[in-house]
């Protein structure tokens, strides 16, 4: 079976709206930890949610809703992307 370049370029990805925020952003990166950290930063900068004040439920939603997508899938679904 042959692979195309898109099969090799994978990234972790989370939709901001999947964690309960009214936002079209998708945050992605090459590791789950990077995406989680960028999500915390986005939530602080754009939604005024301090990472130290986040509920356990919100942190669990981030972990549970993290997905693996091809790079193009992540980009095609968002008006806002954070690397």
pLDDT tens per residue, range 30-79: 888 999 999 999 999 999 999 888 888 888 999 999 988 765 555 554 44
Residue pair 62/19 in contact (Cβ under 8 Å)? The answer is yes
Q: pLDDT band for position 9 (50/70/90)?
A: low
Q: Each residue of 12-24: pLDDT tens digit?
A: 889 989 888 899 9
> How many residues in the chain?
83
DSSP, collapsed to helix, strand or coil, labels residue 41 as helix
pLDDT for residue 39? 93
Distance of alpha carbon 22 from alpha carbon 16, whole angstroms = 8
Whether the model pTM is above 0.85: no
- Do strands 67-70 and 80-82 pair parallel, antiparallel, or not at all (unpaired)? unpaired
pLDDT for residue 59? 87
Q: Where are the domains of the chain?
A: 7-82
């Amino acid at each position: 079976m042959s692979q195309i370049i898109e099969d090799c370029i994978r990234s972790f990805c989370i939709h901001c709206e999947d964690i309960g925020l009214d936002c079209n952003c998708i945050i992605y990166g090459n590791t789950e930890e990077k995406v989680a950290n960028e999500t915390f930063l986005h939530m602080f900068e754009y939604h005024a949610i301090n990472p130290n004040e986040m509920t356990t439920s919100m942190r669990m939603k981030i972990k549970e809703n993290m997905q693996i997508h091809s790079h193009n899938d992540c980009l095609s679904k968002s008006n806002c992307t954070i690397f």
